[in-house]
Structure 1
Amino acid sequence: MDPQLPQTIDAYLERIGAPRPARPDAPALRELQLRHLTTVPFENLSIHLGEDIVLEEKALLDKIVAGRRGGFCYELNGAFAVLLRALGFRVTLLQARVHGDGGRLGIPYDHLALRVETDDGTGPWLADVGFGDHAERPLLLDDRTDQQDPRGTFRIARVHAEAGGDHGDVDVLRDGAPQFRLDPRPRALDDFRGGAWYHRTSPDSGFTRAPVCSRFTATGRITLSGRRLLTTVGGERHETRLEGDEEVLAAYREHFGVLLDRLPPEGGVGVEAGLSAPNG
């Protein structure tokens, strides 16, 4: 074990404004997920700034804790898994394929999510701090009924074999719309390198199209895409066009805690991205 890990975990908890939980139970998991979602942004800035993305635990902690940055699913959920394990939770990495337009499934290892077991006899839980606009609370992984969340009604539904559910796959739905298809077999962080490479290089990936930085707020969500600042409050969206590089850099600092010395180029490969954060 890294001898610096205990201090890093303390710094991680400080980063997300969370006290160290007394025990690894379901209420603690809910609190940690919410704190993470509201403090650590979902962002793809490294792709547009030409920064390397390293799927190793120390590198992820260095970026998110010491560097006070965010990341996309592989980075956010990869780091969150390290935090949870250090606090006594039992964590398994799971791969998922994101549902796209027309029911098309994305590539294998499109998304990294977490199966989390607690010590209070509840769960297992599906925890996720890396899917953009998604559930605020962990979801009961084995529950096949509707699960109410401040961000919508979620359901985890079995995928039958004729629909491609050969390994006990399940679809995660939000308000009736499928979000991603989850494979329950355990994975390792190295398994996601191909998916991360695809999403940082392919013109077919939503992450290469435009820089996006987004996080949960108490009342909705705030997203910065290029020079457009979008806030969602109680279901109502408000857009502000930012003028000048300094105003954009200030928005990264003030709304996301991200300190940049230069702006990522606007645009990217393919068409301009929409205002919502990409998922994955």
Structure 2
Amino acid sequence: MVDRSAYLARIGYQGSLVPSMETLRGLHLSHVLTVPFENLDIQLGRPIALEPAALFEKIVTSRRGGYCFELNGLFALLLEDLGFAITRLAARVLYGAEGVRPRSHQVLLVHLDGKRWIVDVGFGGQGLREPLPCVAGLEHRQGPDQFRLTTDERGEHVLQCRLDEAWTNLYSFTLEPWLPVDYQFANYYHSHAPESLFVQRLICTMPTLDGRKTFIGNLLKVRGIDGLQELHVTSEVEREQLLQEHFGLIINDRLRF
């Protein structure tokens, strides 16, 4: 169980709570527009706890973000509390990958009215804004973004996003169910291994209604209808000010610069 009212207030959702496509879409969009994908705790040397109470305290009470195991982990609990039927899955990240990576991204499958929907509020790079029908070949426009599912040579589902006039692979997955405990090893790797991108650099991103804000290292990019704006940060204080201004994040400890 989660504190439903507090969670809904955190994401600014005031719509219907009946388990329906309208509710699922509204919750998903509200979540990604208010809760950033971020790895600040890893940069601060803090452990990433996946227990429900820890997730709620961080994301709702402390008004922070997180990465896939945290964001999709807590969102799954909210959906279940509202009466949605979900299956937890694991995906193999393809976006920006060199070689074959293990399955280490948490994604959700929602079963609703005889149909299946891919739900993911925790993918940092060009992630979904809304649920996506789990149907291969169907192109789906979501605000300024366009997505589709295909299948690869292994028979896995592949989520793609249209970038620069070409379809780009984001991640692949099967429909084999995972349990919450199954993500513990991947969570430890991503938050501790020197080769993990989350250990190597600060990452913070979230979509806007007409674009996306992305903060990587000391570079903030804001893309919208007016094009792309870039700002290079030159101090810890400036970076923390921008994290608060653009992502609503307040960090008590000093980040490494």
- Report the TM-score when normalising by structure 2: 0.91
Who is 1:150 aligned against?
143
Query: Paired residue for 2:75?
Result: 80
C-alpha spacing 1:226/1:179, structure 2 compared with 1 (3 Å): closer
Alignment of 1:64-213 (within 5 A): 64-101=59-96, 104-108=99-103, 110-118=104-112, 121=113, 123-132=115-124, 133-159=126-152, 163-165=153-155, 169-175=156-162, 176-213=167-204
For structure 1, the residue ranges without an aligned partner over 5 or more in a row are 267-280
Which residue in 2 is equivalent to 1:17? Answer: 12
Once residues 190 and 207 of structure 2 are traced to their aligned partners in structure 1, the CA distance between those partners, rounded to angstroms, is 23
Two-structure CA RMSD over aligned residues (Å) = 1.9
Residues 249 and 259, structure 1, Cα contact 8 Å, conserved in 2: yes
Amino acid paired to 1:114: L
Change (3 A) 1:102 1:194: closer
Runs of 5+ unmatched residues, structure 2: none
Return closer, same or farther for 1:24/1:235 CA change in 2, 3 Å cut-off: farther
Task: Classify the secondary structure of the residue corresponding to 2:158.
Answer: strand
Query: For the residues of structure 2 that align with 1:65 and 1:243, how far apart are their CA atoms?
Result: 30
CA distance in 1, matches of 2:51, 2:214: 27
- SS, match of residue 115 in structure 2: coil
On the 8 A contact 2:28/2:129 being kept in 1, the answer is yes
Aligned length: 252
Aligned partners of 1:207 and 1:182: how far apart in 2? 21
Percent identity among equivalent residues? 34
For 1:214 and 1:36, how far apart are their aligned partners in 2?
13
The reply to whether residue 48 of structure 1 matches residue 43 of structure 2 is yes
Contact 2:236 2:256 in 1 (8 A): no
Q: Give the corresponding residue for 1:269.
A: none
TM-superposed deviation, 1:223: 2.1
The whole-number CA distance in structure 2 between the counterparts of 1:217 and 1:19 is 19
Provide runs of 4+ in structure 1 moved above 3 Å. Answer: 100-103
Q: Which amino acid aligns with 2:239?
A: V
Report the 3-state secondary structure (helix = DSSP H, G, I; strand = E; otherwise coil) of the residue aligned with 1:174: strand
What are the Cα deviations for residues 39-58 of structure 1, in whole angstroms up to 9, with x where unaligned? 00100111111111112222
Displacement of 1:31 after TM fit? 1.0
Q: Distance in 1 between matches of 2:123 and 2:176?
A: 19
Q: How far off is 1:152 after superposition?
A: 3.0
The answer to whether the Cα contact below 8 Å between 2:15 and 2:26 also exists between their aligned partners in 1 is no
Amino acid at match of 1:217: T
- Helix, strand or coil at the partner of 2:137: coil
- Shift in Å, 1:101: 4.9
